[in-house]
Structure 1
Amino acid sequence: MSAMYVGAYWGARAEPASTCAARLARCLESLHGAHPALTSWCHKGRSHAGARRPVDVDPGSLTTLVERGRARRDVDDETIDELGFTGGMWNGQTPSVGLTFQCGATFMPIGNNMVLQLSGGGEGETLTEPAVARAVLDSLVNAWEPAWVTWTTDAWRNAQGAEPGRPVVGWLTYLRGVPAYGIPDELASVAMAGGVLVSAALTFAEVTEERILSVREALRGAGALDLRGGGSEVGS
């Protein structure tokens, strides 16, 4: 299976490290209840021991983690405020889940995002149970207030040829600011937190590349993909 991921994307939003950390904390707290594999996190590291060091999820510790990812110039170590903050962690268990984020950026070729890289097959299939998937999307949407979210794969993304910053359609696609009544009747959609959630199929296993392209064409024809999330869509 091509790499599966859930990506949330939004445009220019100048936020300090403390605000980004508060959003991250809300997201992690919500993900905690979505699936056992999302209950705890570890720092990334070059050694086995380093990659097993737990992430403290209290606001102060997360603010320090976010601040550590502030963009700086190589020459003089000066901060580059327009690039915001980057960071990442992983869950340290099976199924494996990686988490990366970029927040506080105002330079839109970079953009802001949070991406969950998900294991496919085996125990990873439990992450695609509809109730779990909806809980994961709710966590990202409520915490980060993104312009759009996609639950997709590298192969499906590449097949679409979407412009940088434009929504990429997946099994599940959230579009902020798009009303449910603006979605074509032939597509399964439901209102969700200031926007709409569109499903390409009832389950992840039922989705095909042809179905993804069909849903994308229907959404494009309805003008539902005209919003921009800023920067290049990142999934790997």
Structure 2
Amino acid sequence: MNETYYLGTYWGARKELAGECAVRTGTLLSMLPTVDPSFARWFQQGKSRTDALRRSIEPNVQDLERLISRGKDRVIENLGFRFRGWNGVLDERDASSFDVTCGGRSVRVSNFWLFDLPIQGANAGRVLTGDVLASLMRVTATSWEPDWGVAMSHSHRDMVEPRRVPKSPYVGWVTYLARHRGTVPPLPSPVRVESVEDKGTLIVLTPERFTVSNPEHVALAERVRELLDRAGLLKPLQAQP
């Protein structure tokens, strides 16, 4: 069975209004078509696919602010806003979607932007590469300034979860660590390390698809995790101002 993959970025409690979340969302949506053509259009959830395809999400800040405001928790004020999108690809195995929570100020909820990525098909063939996932992580980190992020398979996540410290970063195929976490130490080949403006560091384990069925991939991820942990970069997520 094919492994399924996701890309998520995460940050602690950070007070942001719907308008501020809209600016960040609009910035990201505007950059996504440069990553891959399948990320050029997005739609709101609907009662059916036909209904959803009538409800496009445009990178217009005023429209986005209205959309995001509808996702505000009506009971607890500081839980922020939550909304979702889908890229309109009718073949579910080759489609992508996103889920975001922003503006949350409570330790009871994490702020995040999460992409569910295609599994199989033409889009998956392009997206599930080290270069494209690195580009997707770069534009997401630039837009949302998260504390950390990871692109990895669900199988790899489940494999490492039992020994992970709660709320600490995962180390996966592509990992992002904010600058405030510290300096990334030298890492073994073929790992690629890149700066993301002045915001953080991008770490790509392999250019080819990372799979848990490849013991060399799993061993490399564990070695990198050990080096990053030893350097103090994998501490649990902290609140942001």
Question: TM-score surpassing 0.5?
Answer: yes
Preserved CA contact (<8 Å) 1:183 1:224:
no
How much has 1:202 moved relative to structure 2? 2.2
Q: Does 1:29 align with 2:30?
A: yes
How much has 1:227 moved relative to structure 2? 4.9
Preserved CA contact (<8 Å) 1:149 1:173:
yes
Q: Distance in 2 between matches of 1:101 and 1:110?
A: 12
How much has 1:121 moved relative to structure 2? 2.9
Query: Quick one: percent identity of the two aligned structures?
Result: 27
Q: Distance in 2 between matches of 1:28 and 1:229?
A: 27
Please list, as runs of the form range in 1=range in 2, the aligned pairs for 1:1-12 lying within 5 A after superposition: 1-12=2-13
Gaps of 5+ in 1: 74-79, 231-236
Q: Could you give the per-residue CA deviations for residues 123-150 of structure 1, whole angstroms, max 9, x where no partner exists?
A: 2020023442222112101110000110
> Among residues 156, 179, 189, which one is paired with 2:193 in the alignment?
189
Secondary structure in structure 2 of the residue aligned to 1:42: coil
Preserved CA contact (<8 Å) 1:167 1:229:
no
Q: Distance in 2 between matches of 1:223 and 1:168?
A: 14
How much has 1:229 moved relative to structure 2? 5.5
What's the counterpart of residue 68 of structure 1? 70
Using the size of structure 1 for normalisation, the TM-score is: 0.87
Gaps of 5+ in 2: none
Q: Distance in 2 between matches of 1:48 and 1:190?
A: 39
Distance 1:34 1:188, change over 3 A: closer
Q: Distance in 1 between matches of 2:63 and 2:187?
A: 46
How much has 1:205 moved relative to structure 2? 4.2
Secondary structure in structure 1 of the residue aligned to 2:127: helix
Q: Distance in 1 between matches of 2:32 and 2:148?
A: 18
What's the counterpart of residue 15 of structure 2? 14
Q: 185-194 or 95-104: which moved more?
A: 185-194
Q: Does 1:141 align with 2:141?
A: yes
What's the counterpart of residue 59 of structure 1? 61
How much has 1:37 moved relative to structure 2? 0.2
What's the counterpart of residue 76 of structure 1? none
What's the counterpart of residue 117 of structure 2? 118
Preserved CA contact (<8 Å) 1:171 1:201:
yes
Distance 1:174 1:3, change over 3 A: same
Secondary structure in structure 2 of the residue aligned to 1:55: coil
Preserved CA contact (<8 Å) 1:43 1:51:
yes
Preserved CA contact (<8 Å) 1:184 1:222:
no
What's the counterpart of residue 132 of structure 1? 132
Secondary structure in structure 1 of the residue aligned to 2:30: helix
Q: Distance in 2 between matches of 1:51 and 1:211?
A: 41
Q: Distance in 1 between matches of 2:135 and 2:187?
A: 25
Preserved CA contact (<8 Å) 1:184 1:219:
no
Using the size of structure 2 for normalisation, the TM-score is: 0.85
Q: Distance in 2 between matches of 1:50 and 1:128?
A: 29
Q: Distance in 1 between matches of 2:108 and 2:155?
A: 23
Preserved CA contact (<8 Å) 1:31 1:135:
no
> Among residues 86, 89, 92, which one is paired with 2:85 in the alignment?
89
Distance 1:192 1:8, change over 3 A: same
Q: Distance in 2 between matches of 1:57 and 1:189?
A: 30
What's the counterpart of residue 175 of structure 1? 177
Q: Could you give the per-residue CA deviations for residues 43-68 of structure 1, whole angstroms, max 9, x where no partner exists?
A: 11221222212223311111011000
Q: Distance in 1 between matches of 2:166 and 2:158?
A: 12
Q: Distance in 1 between matches of 2:4 and 2:238?
A: 22
Q: Distance in 2 between matches of 1:57 and 1:190?
A: 28
